[in-house]
Amino acid sequence: MRKTTAEVLKSRKESNRGSLIGYFPAGFPTLSDSVDAAIAMCRNGVDVLELGVPYSDPVMDGLVIQQATETALANGFKLRQLFDAVKQITSAVDTPVLVMTYWNPVLSYGVENFARDLKEAGGAGLITPDLIPDEAGEWLAVSDKYNLERVFLAAPTSSAERVARACELSRGFIYAVSTMGITGTRDSVDDLAKQVVAAVRVADAEQNTAVGIGISSAAQVADVNSYADGAIVGSVFVRAYAGGGLANLKDVTLNLSGKK
């Protein structure tokens, strides 16, 4: 039976291995290519997969991911194809697959329809970067109905009350945003990440926390895993594939996961 995201993160943390959470956009550069890329990532060291939904107004995404999602849309990606991709990936690997999406596509598709189709495809749940818990009533109810994971964000600017609410309602992990701004690699992961993780620990010592935005090297992955429950990497994987195809993506995944 496929483990939940929380089970994977806790198991790896307890064995001092740490977790690598990898992002790749569905449909980039084509749907079949993105499925092959995602499977390759899972088979070469990614412990939890984030499959991104291409969106025309990606306010939090850095240039690398923006360009990739624009390519996917230009090549004809449609939201309904997301579920085909999830099904193909989950049929090939046991890695939990979370869908990373802005909320508008979910609303457009229908919240219950989206949840039902995601569950039927074998998806674990959703990461919703622009949906805050206080405005997530419909998603909370539907995700309970379909037993789907839900990942909310915590940022350096989040109040203690907001962090506590995110901890209470998240299933899987809290996405700790390490820097204010858009995604993309940086030379160093902001020290603010540790503050966000510490705030989550105060609110709920049992809740998992993974750090994203700005992680670009194996050393940073290891550093983040020394104090959090997982390191989230996105732009590096997209750039690796764009620059060298599947072979380069596998190589970068092995390196970031510490397997090479």
8 phi and psi angles, rounded to 5 deg:
-65, -50
**Cα 256 versus chain centre, distance:** 16
> Strand pairing partners for 81?
none
Q: Please compute Rg for the chain using Cα positions.
A: 16
Residue 75: exposure state from Cβ atoms within 10 A (0-12, 13-18, ≥19): middle
Secondary structure (3-state) at 183: coil
Question: What distance separates the 2 farthest-apart alpha carbons in the chain?
Answer: 45
Instruction: Considering the candidates 36, 47, 50, 229, report the single residue annotated as catalytic.
Output: 50
The length of the chain in residues reads 260
Give residue 184's identity as a one-letter amino acid code: G
Give residue 60's identity as a one-letter amino acid code: M
- Quick check: is 168 catalytic? no
Instruction: Considering the candidates 36, 47, 61, 229, report the single residue annotated as catalytic.
Output: 61
Hey, what are 190's tokens?
């902001």
Contact 224, 211 (CB under 8 A): yes
- Quick check: is 149 catalytic? no
Strands (E), the chain: 20-25, 48-52, 97-100, 125-127, 149-151, 153-154, 174-177, 209-212, 230-233
**Cα 103 versus chain centre, distance:** 15
Catalytic (active-site) positions: 50, 61
